[in-house]
Amino acid sequence: MSMGIDKKWIPAGVVLAIGLVLAAGWGWYRGTVGPLGEQEQEALRDAEDFAGRIENAQRTITEIKANDEEAERVRRELDRLYRELLAGSAMFSMPPLVREHFARFGIPIRLVRMNSTKDEPDIPGHERSFWSVALPIDEGGRNIFKMLLAVADLDQEKPFLRVIDFAIRPDPENPTARMASMNVSVLNRK
């Protein structure tokens, strides 16, 4: 009998050796490469989360910029309106303003009269005055259309001035004629 390796055990030994090598390789993979794959997955999840937060931040920045632009537009509009407010006493600045406005439409002013004033509590340093304006109507009422255009333009052109009402009435000085009257409120600095 010879002391050699039994040939029937060789395939089983090779399979066992291959199994041991594979088990050792799997152990090594799980110990070194496997955690890298898990770390990569976690890093990818973190990167996706970070990208989402960046997108939200960019959206917020865009909204803030839009709000800043709107605030700047409103500030410029308020500055413009403030510059247009009648400076000083409306008693002296309102009659020429109304006369000049209606003159542009070819309509003379018969009377501009201040009825009352009151402090504007929501706007310190300002007051609201109330005025009556008398406008002559020509024969046949040919200037009524121009007058209505002028009234609408005055209300639109001067943001500190509001036409309260407009009426056509008999002229108290000439009962056969008619006249237009308009009541206006004006916001002005004290």
pLDDT digits (tens, 9 = 90+) for 153-181: 988 887 788 899 999 988 888 888 889 99
Mean pLDDT of 66-71: 91
State residue 87's pLDDT score: 52
Q: Which amino acid is at 12?
A: A
Mean pLDDT of 31-46: 71
| Segments of the chain assigned E as strands | 111-119, 126-136, 161-171, 174-189
List pLDDT tens digits, range 13-33: 666 677 777 777 666 666 665
Q: Which amino acid is at 59?
A: R
63: left (phi over 0), alpha (psi -120 to 50) or beta: alpha
Query: Please, are residues 151 and 164 in contact by the beta-carbon 8 Å criterion?
Result: no
> Is the model more confident about 19 or about 63?
63
What's the pLDDT band for 133 if we cut at 50, 70, 90?
very high
Mean pLDDT of 110-129: 85
Mean pLDDT of 139-148: 88
Its pTM stands at 0.53
Mean pLDDT of 44-67: 88
Report how far residue 44's alpha carbon sits from residue 122's, in angstroms, rounded to the nearest whole number: 57
Q: In the numeric block, which tokens belong to residue 135?
A: 């406008």
Q: Which of 128, 132, 136 is nearest to 161 (CA)?
A: 128
Place of tokens 């402090």: 119
User: What secondary structure letter does DSSP report for 140?
Assistant: G
Report how far residue 97's alpha carbon sits from residue 154's, in angstroms, rounded to the nearest whole number: 10
pLDDT above 90 for 104: yes
State residue 30's pLDDT score: 64
Report how far residue 166's alpha carbon sits from residue 184's, in angstroms, rounded to the nearest whole number: 9
